[in-house]
Amino acid sequence: MKNQNKSNNLVENSFFFFNLLSRSSADNGGLINYLIKLFVFLEILVIYCLLCITFKLNNKSCLMKVFVTGGTGYIGSHTVVELQQNGFDVVIVDNLSNSNIAVLDGIEKITGIRPEFEKIDLTEADKVEDFFVRHKDIVAVIHFAALKAVGESVQKPLEYYRNNLNSLMNVISSMKKTGVKNLVFSSSCTVYGQADVLPVTEQTPRKQAESPYGNTKAMCEDIMRDVAKVEKEMNLLALRYFNPIGAHPSALIGELPNGVPNNLIPYLTQTVAGIREQLSVFGDDYDTPDGSAIRDYIDVVDLAKAHVVAIRRLLEGKNRNNYEYFNIGTGNGVSVLGLIKAFEKATGEKVNYKIVGRRAGDIEKVWADTSYANNELGWKAVASLEETLANAWKWQKHLMK
């Protein structure tokens, strides 16, 4: 507002100056003097216009607002930070079913900007549409909001289908009605099922998912693909990411699920912290070197940065098709037991764990071929596994203060 007032004052002063020059020139009857003074005025006007353009370029957020669903969640909050640090304005919607409003405090401490927030359940279509109508300056959406625990989805399939499918359809429907054209979707490597050949590429055939959670991701991708066929002006992009772990290096945000964690790392760190008694490793009889399942663990900040790259790709019209998908991982497979050893090495802490039976819905092994994302998006995961695990422990210690 302050900058706008300054701009308005400059305009008023410029025209006042021009009027004075005109009267002075008319009084003196000097055409040459009048033209010289007119030239000076035009120079001032050009400078003012350049200042306005510079101001807008330096304040891209006023032109580019990104709507982040699930933005107080684990990956969402880290992505909000990266968006803000790259000049975007952000508005978050979350129902806080598996996150905490205090995450906004951490985001603000990191970036100096408190993102706008609204508590909305995205399965309620009328509320989603009302949100889009009230936020006419949104240029892109990143859709994280979803139920996401593999094991839980096996026990509650209807809840997962209802939530994950309806929320996406409501978002896309409201985008269509209000003219928002760009969507980045939080997909998953679970769409590949247990691939026959590793690492998986974007050309790897999708298989029947091993869990309802994985199936919802595949179905959401199908919805996006089919919408893109008829809505030629919409740009839809799915990031199939592998296993995000770690926390922001500041230890001001990280993974903090409500209740008992379903993911490996928060359960591991809580076990080391004494909050949980023991970590369960699900299966040691897989066809892997040490018998435990293998995953591609990616640092959450690296993953967040991939979303910024994806948003820019759509906004700058660099997408090759109006529906695209990319693998987002490190390209390295690490076993669960190997991850535990890496954590102990990175932190000097011992992990109390036990081997238990396999968990329903888990696949044996998967890791990514990221060459397409590396080359096409110009993005690459850079954090080491040790650095990532050290940040996860740093976050857990921050929570215990």
Catalytic residues: 213
Q: What are phi and psi of 290, to 5 degrees?
A: -110, 5
Tokens of 97: 């079913």
Nearest to 285 by CA among 293, 274, 296, 273: 293
Q: What are phi and psi of 103, to 5 degrees?
A: -60, -30
Q: Taking a C-beta distance cutoff of 8 angstroms, is the pair 271, 354 a contact?
A: no
For residues 267 and 337, give the distance between their C-alpha atoms in angstroms, rounded to a whole number.
14
Q: Taking a C-beta distance cutoff of 8 angstroms, is the pair 213, 148 a contact?
A: yes
For residues 73 and 69, give the distance between their C-alpha atoms in angstroms, rounded to a whole number.
9
Helices (H), 112-205: 125-134, 150-155, 157-178
| Dihedral-angle region of residue 18 (phi above 0 means left; psi in -120 to 50 means alpha; beta otherwise) | alpha
HSE-CB at 337 with a 13 A cutoff on CA atoms is 14
Q: How far is CA 322 from CA 171, 224, 237, in A?
A: 17, 10, 8
Looking at this protein, which amino acid is placed at residue 41? F
Tokens of 23: 């009267």
